[in-house]
């Protein structure tokens, strides 16, 4: 509606991401590089998806099933990419450890690895927020606002900002969970991540129903909260275990 | 009884990890590039109001529109042909200017070149920067009167001239001025018509590749001349010095110090023509155009500074393939105490920084600015492409260890991503997100 509103929407979508960036990532240049490369990765996966779906667009917005197929394929593809990302991460970890041995410095700590995972996840979340929310926010800096037909109670920009916020949280922390899960080999964590992503994406399908966004938005926030909580429990457990194993020797 | 030392607040995290300082130089180059692009995008989006785009204002007559001026009514093939001709003419002009520069440098007209560059910086900051300032003032209706703005602009320009080649100016000021010059030139360049811009960017990337890597390319000759004379290049370069100035020159090869050791990405800014209707070659803005070159610098100590007995004038830096690391903090302290003269290191720590030519900054920003004229999604995609291209170039630099052009990879990736995003991704993402279906 004005520049103030536009900036407000940007901050709603990106506020936690920016504070995470400023407090954790900006201090270590290597994490910034990780963030940039994971953003690039997500962008490339999105381009591939878009290329695959180009022939079928535009999708008629009244029917549900094209969108559900779209979401299933997209989420499946992205989760597959996440495994590839994890393999790259392992390779990088080995390279860094070899380098650390060569310069006789300590190897990567657990907190380092978690921070790397966090930076990777934040890159994905940032890319989502920029491509799905920020790029459409340019009219919000002007004098008017916009409402979607299906959701006449909340301005479009606010909905997309809140959805972007939810997804930023989900992407960021599911990367940490996923990396921990793959490293430790725990099935529960490995299954949780694609599951959470899929459920969150399916929740946005509710927005296609007229008036559905009133239900969809809170559900999405609950999903984001669940991911956050799960991640918290996981990290707490890992760190206390690590602490006890280290102090015991 | 002396009080016991306070225990460190964090007992387990006092150990430094290797990822703490890895990649500082890369970030030191990427952040000014990002800031430059951000400023260009902001200026272009705020200055391009709907009224100016709908009116048919003729594009400025420049070196890049010598042969063909694009107008909306031409067919795509005609536009393409015209753009190619324009780009060819521009590249020829740039090549000629670079050869002239090399000739002058060869015959030791270095001080003439430096003064010419100072004049050009003044010209860019004062007149081109002034016109941008005027349009910004007008657009935002800022209440600033003419004499005050004239004085402010004049001061700004003079300070820029002073900071260009003198070593005594604080590095942050010099870096800011380099970025401002790049922003101003890029904003100016982005006013070119669309097809011409894209073809020009691709042509410049190819020219850069040729000029730096071919044995008789002008930039390669220039770089070799400068390194054989052991002087700094008389050109506009952005120097990303590390912020902690206590770096002594590392003793040759014995320490596991690896830094991307001064790869110089070379200079020059491009030739931009003035806005006058007479296409006058002499009035060309002094930013001699040669696309950037990356080179490994074997120290750039000033000649007066030959003090330290144990350190040679040439810092031999060891390269780690694919990774870069600055001196870890611990070892820095050690060096500091062991070196006999640390006071001058504050002023003459010119060995460790990556240097990137202003031409790079300008053309990256032109690409992103042109993407901004379409949509924000393309801006972000092109930004990521350029940054990753820059990262690749830096990594290649540490592998090859000689002059490398910084334009080709980034521009190629940027152009590819722009067209992919515009054609493929946008219908997909916009279609999904306007229906509030996201993943």
What DSSP line would sit under A125-182, residue for residue? HHHHIIIIIGGG-GGGGSS----BTTBTTS-HHHHHHHHHHHHHHHHHHHHHHHHHHH
Contacts of B427 in chain A (CB under 8 A): 50, 54, 57-58
- Tell me the nearest-neighbour CA distance from A53 into chain B, angstroms: 7
| Of the partner residues B23, B377, B435, the one whose CB lies closest to the CB of residue A131 | B377
Q: What is the CA radius of gyration of chain A?
A: 19
Span B106-117, pLDDT tens digits: 888 888 888 999
Contact A54 B424 (CB under 8 A): yes
As a whole number, mean pLDDT of residues B242-262 equals 38
Contacts of B414 in chain A (CB under 8 A): none
pLDDT band at B63, cuts 50/70/90? low
Q: How far is CA A204 from CA A170, B8, B360, in A?
A: 14, 48, 42
Helix, coil or strand: residue B90: helix
Contacts of A31 in chain B (CB under 8 A): 19
In degrees, to the nearest 5, what angle opens at C-alpha B65 toward C-alphas B63 and B71?
A: 165
Strand-pairing partners, residue B318, are B258
DSSP B5-27: PPPPS-SS--SPPGGGTBTHHHH
| Of the partner residues B328, B436, B439, the one whose CB lies closest to the CB of residue A148 | B436
Q: What is the DSSP letter of B56?
A: -
Contact B430 A31 (CB under 8 A): no
As a whole number, mean pLDDT of residues B8-15 equals 51
Contact A177, A234 (CB under 8 A): yes
| Of the partner residues B23, B420, B437, the one whose CB lies closest to the CB of residue A205 | B437
Beta strand pairing call for B263-265 and B293-296: antiparallel
Give me the catalytic one of B6, B20, B145, B208. Answer: B208
How crowded is the C-beta side of B285, counted as CA atoms within 13 Å? 30
Q: How many helices (H) and strands (E) does chain B have?
A: 14, 5
Enclosing H/E stretch for A75: helix A65-102
Contact B428 A99 (CB under 8 A): no
Q: Is the pLDDT at A192 greater than 70, yes or no?
A: yes
Contacts of A75 in chain B (CB under 8 A): 439
Residue of B nearest to A217 (CA): B436
Q: B233, B194, B263, B210: which is closest to B94 by C-alpha? A: B210
Residues near B86 by Cβ (< 8 Å), separated by ≥ 6? B64, B65, B66, B67, B68, B196, B199, B200
- Tell me the nearest-neighbour CA distance from B337 into chain A, angstroms: 21
Least confident of A228-232, B98-102, B376-380, B400-404: B400-404
Residues near B65 by Cβ (< 8 Å), separated by ≥ 6? B59, B86, B192, B193, B196
The pLDDT value recorded for residue B419 is 92
Contacts of B431 in chain A (CB under 8 A): 57-59
Asked if B360 is an active-site residue, the reply is yes
Enclosing H/E stretch for B334: helix B329-338
- pLDDT, mean over chain B: 72
Phi then psi for B65, rounded to 5 degrees? -125, 35
- What is the residue whose two structure tokens read 């060309």? B284
Least confident of B53-67, B237-251, B290-304: B290-304
Greatest mean pLDDT among A44-58, B15-29, B118-132 lies in: B118-132
State pTM to two decimals: 0.79
pLDDT band at A119, cuts 50/70/90? very high
Give me the catalytic one of B5, B308, B360, B375. Answer: B360
The pLDDT value recorded for residue B333 is 34
The pLDDT value recorded for residue B339 is 38
Contacts of B420 in chain A (CB under 8 A): 47, 51
Contact B439 A74 (CB under 8 A): yes
What angle in degrees, to the nearest 10, is found between the helix axes of B407-420 and B358-372?
0
Contact A100 B256 (CB under 8 A): no
Q: A95, A49, A14, A229: which is closest to B320 by C-alpha? A: A95
- Tell me the nearest-neighbour CA distance from B360 into chain A, angstroms: 20
Higher pLDDT, A57 or A202: A202
The pLDDT value recorded for residue B350 is 46
| Of the partner residues A105, A109, A208, the one whose CB lies closest to the CB of residue B328 | A105
Question: What ranges in B190-257 are assigned the alpha helix state H?
Answer: 194-213, 218-229
Question: What is the C-alpha to C-alpha distance for residues B246 and B252, in angstroms, rounded to an integer?
Answer: 17
Residue of B nearest to A150 (CA): B435
Beta strand pairing call for B404-405 and B263-265: unpaired
Question: What is the C-alpha to C-alpha distance for residues B303 and B18, in angstroms, rounded to an integer?
Answer: 35
Q: What is the DSSP letter of B128?
A: I
Beta strand pairing call for B354-357 and B237-240: antiparallel
The pLDDT value recorded for residue B185 is 93
Asked if B342 is an active-site residue, the reply is no
Contact A40 B434 (CB under 8 A): no
Q: B342, B50, B350, B44: which is closest to B174 by C-alpha? A: B350
Least confident of A40-44, A156-160, B119-123, B262-266: B262-266
Phi then psi for B41, rounded to 5 degrees? -65, -40
Greatest mean pLDDT among A5-19, B287-301, B319-333, B395-409 lies in: A5-19
Contact A33 B26 (CB under 8 A): yes
Contact A122, A130 (CB under 8 A): no
pLDDT band at B71, cuts 50/70/90? low
Instruction: Work out the number of other CB atoms within 10 angstroms of the CB of residue A17.
Output: 21
- Tell me the nearest-neighbour CA distance from A190 into chain B, angstroms: 19
Strand-pairing partners, residue B404, are B294
- Tell me the nearest-neighbour CA distance from B361 into chain A, angstroms: 19
């Amino acid at each position: 509606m004005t520049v103030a509103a536009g900036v407000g929407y940007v901050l709603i979508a990106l506020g936690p991401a920016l504070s995470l960036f400023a407090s954790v990532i900006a201090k270590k240049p290597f994490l910034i590089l990780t963030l940039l490369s994971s953003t690039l990765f997500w962008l490339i996966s999105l381009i591939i998806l878009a290329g695959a779906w180009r022939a079928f667009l535009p999708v008629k917005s009244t029917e549900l099933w094209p969108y559900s197929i779209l979401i299933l394929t997209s989420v499946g593809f992205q989760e597959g990419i996440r495994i590839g990302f994890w393999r790259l991460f392992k390779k990088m970890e080995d390279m860094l450890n070899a380098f650390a041995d060569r310069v006789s410095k300590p190897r990567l700590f657990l907190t380092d690895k978690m921070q790397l995972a966090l930076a990777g996840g934040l890159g994905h979340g940032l890319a989502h927020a920029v491509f799905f929310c920020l790029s459409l926010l340019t009219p919000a800096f002007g004098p008017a606002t916009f409402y979607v037909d299906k959701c006449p109670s909340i301005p479009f920009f606010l909905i997309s900002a809140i959805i972007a916020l939810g997804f930023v949280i989900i992407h960021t922390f599911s990367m940490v969970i996923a990396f921990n899960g793959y490293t430790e080999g725990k099935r529960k964590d490995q299954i949780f991540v694609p599951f959470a992503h899929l459920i969150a994406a399916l929740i946005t399908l509710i927005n296609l129903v007229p008036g559905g966004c009133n239900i969809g938005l809170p559900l999405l926030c609950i999903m984001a909260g669940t991911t956050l909580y799960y991640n918290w429990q996981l990290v707490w457990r890992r760190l206390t275990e690590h602490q006890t194993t280290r102090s015991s020797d | 009884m002396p009080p016991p030392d306070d225990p460190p607040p964090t007992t387990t995290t006092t150990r430094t990890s290797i990822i703490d300082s890895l990649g500082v130089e890369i970030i030191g180059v990427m952040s000014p590039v990002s800031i430059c692009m951000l400023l260009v995008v902001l200026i272009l989006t705020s200055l391009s109001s709907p009224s100016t785009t709908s009116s048919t204002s003729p594009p400025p007559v420049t070196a890049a529109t010598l042969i063909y001026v694009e107008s909306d009514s031409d067919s795509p093939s005609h536009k393409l042909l015209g753009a190619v001709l324009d780009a060819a003419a521009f590249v020829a002009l740039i090549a000629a200017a670079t050869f002239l520069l090399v000739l002058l440098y060869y015959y030791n007209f270095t001080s003439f070149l430096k003064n010419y560059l100072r004049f050009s910086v003044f010209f860019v900051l004062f007149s081109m920067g002034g016109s941008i300032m005027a349009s910004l003032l007008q657009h935002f209706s800022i209440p600033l009167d003419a004499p005050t703005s004239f004085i402010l602009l004049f001061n700004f320009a003079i300070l820029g001239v002073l900071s260009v080649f003198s070593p005594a100016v604080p590095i942050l000021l010099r870096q800011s001025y380099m970025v401002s010059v790049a922003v101003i030139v890029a904003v100016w360049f982005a006013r070119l018509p669309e097809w011409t811009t894209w073809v020009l960017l691709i042509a410049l990337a190819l020219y850069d590749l040729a000029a730096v890597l071919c044995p008789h390319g002008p930039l390669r000759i220039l770089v070799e001349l400068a390194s054989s004379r052991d002087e700094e290049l008389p050109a506009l370069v952005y120097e990303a010095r590390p912020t902690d100035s206590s770096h002594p020159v590392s003793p040759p090869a014995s320490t596991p110090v690896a830094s991307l050791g001064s790869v110089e990405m070379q200079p020059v800014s491009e030739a931009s023509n003035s806005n006058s209707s007479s296409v006058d070659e002499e009035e060309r803005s002094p930013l001699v155009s040669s696309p950037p070159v990356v080179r490994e610098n074997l120290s750039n100590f000033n000649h007066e500074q030959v003090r330290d007995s144990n350190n040679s004038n040439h810092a031999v830096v060891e390269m780690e393939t694919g990774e870069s690391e600055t001196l870890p903090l611990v070892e820095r302290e050690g060096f500091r105490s062991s070196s006999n003269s640390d006071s001058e290191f504050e002023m003459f720590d010119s060995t460790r920084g990556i240097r990137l030519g202003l031409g790079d900054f300008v053309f990256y920003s032109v690409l992103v600015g042109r993407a901004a004229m379409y949509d924000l999604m393309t801006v972000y995609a092109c930004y990521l492409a350029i940054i990753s291209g820059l990262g690749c170039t830096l990594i290649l630099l540490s592998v090859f260890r000689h002059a490398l052009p910084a334009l080709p990879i980034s521009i190629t990736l940027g152009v590819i991503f722009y067209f992919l995003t515009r054609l493929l991704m946008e219908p997909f993402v916009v279609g999904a997100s306007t229906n509030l279906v996201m993943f």
